[in-house]
Homo-oligomer: A and B are copies of this chain.
Amino acid sequence: MNFKDIITEVYKKVEAMDDQGQLAAFIPELANVDSQKFGVHISTLNQVNFGLGHCYETFSIQSIAKVLSLCLAYSILGENIWKRLGVEPSGTGFNSLVQLEADHGIPRNPFINSGAIVISDILLSNLENPKEDFLTFVRSISNNSGINYSAKISASEKSIGYRNAALCNFIKSYGNIENDPSDVLDFYYDLCSLEMNCKDLSELFLFLANNGSNTHNNESILTKSQSKRINALMQTCGFYDESGEFAFKVGLPGKSGVGGGIIAIHPNTYAIAVWSPKLNAKGNSFKGMKFLEAFTTKSQLSIF
């Protein structure tokens, strides 16, 4: 059975499921999204490109962008980046401050909010025109020059961003933020507001299945070792306090966003993107998780 058949079968099955998730109501703009959207798209190293459902509609990729900002920062600083944050699962929710206090302002990993805020600070310090430069980086990997930020989403998140402001100021109090907290947060909200569709997403992330090299032009975005390490990080930390569950049930490195998107990578084989806006209790797409679980079970192709 090939990927297209499996995806078609699993898509139908999950589409028919009762969606027990909830829209991310805490971000006003995300609460307006049509909750019935459900798209999926796969891109493989041997040229399969296949999508179903709303796979060509753009959505807010939210925290999935944290992988991209990490990749850019990692490519600039190399292993020095780990002086500023760790690589361990947090064992707590995505925006917890508790652990940060125990760890004296060093975030556990780059995929919880605190870690992504530190990455934003690093990019602010190292890019000439951070907002433009990051967009250029993303567009260059994806080969889609239409990808953009959403000013509306960014403003909406900022309007209720007290918890992130708390995190950023808290880390700053430990000396682990170099720039002004409000500048760091502005850039952080821009990053999270990136919009694209499932097709863009699976094509964009294919370089992580390809040992760090762009499949379009063979350019190296990350070294092979760095690329593997990003995958390892997604495996252990990509789903907040549901990371273990995702490794357990899906068995692929991946990253979710509260916009309902999930990207998952099968190293040396493919990248697959799913989008369905309603979230489970842990903040990950309800149907997205169900789809990927059924997909790897059916394809018998987890990395384990």
Contact = CB atoms under 8 A, between A and B. Distances in A.
Interface of A: 86-92, 96-99, 101, 108-109, 162-163, 165-170, 172-173, 181, 224-225, 227-229, 231-233, 235-237, 241-245, 247-249, 251, 253, 267, 297, 300, 302-304
A97 B99 contact: no
Given A235-B235, A235-B304, A89 B244 contact: yes
A235 B173 CA distance: 30
A101 to B, nearest CB: 5
A88 to B, nearest CB: 4
Contact of A235 (B92, B109, B247, B249): B247
Contacts of A98: 97-98, 101
20 contacts: A86-B244, A89-B244, A90-B91, A108-B244, A109-B244, A162-B169, A162-B170, A163-B169, A163-B170, A163-B173, A166-B167, A166-B168, A170-B170, A225-B297, A229-B248, A229-B249, A229-B251, A232-B248, A235-B235, A237-B244
Contacts of A87: 244-245, 247-248
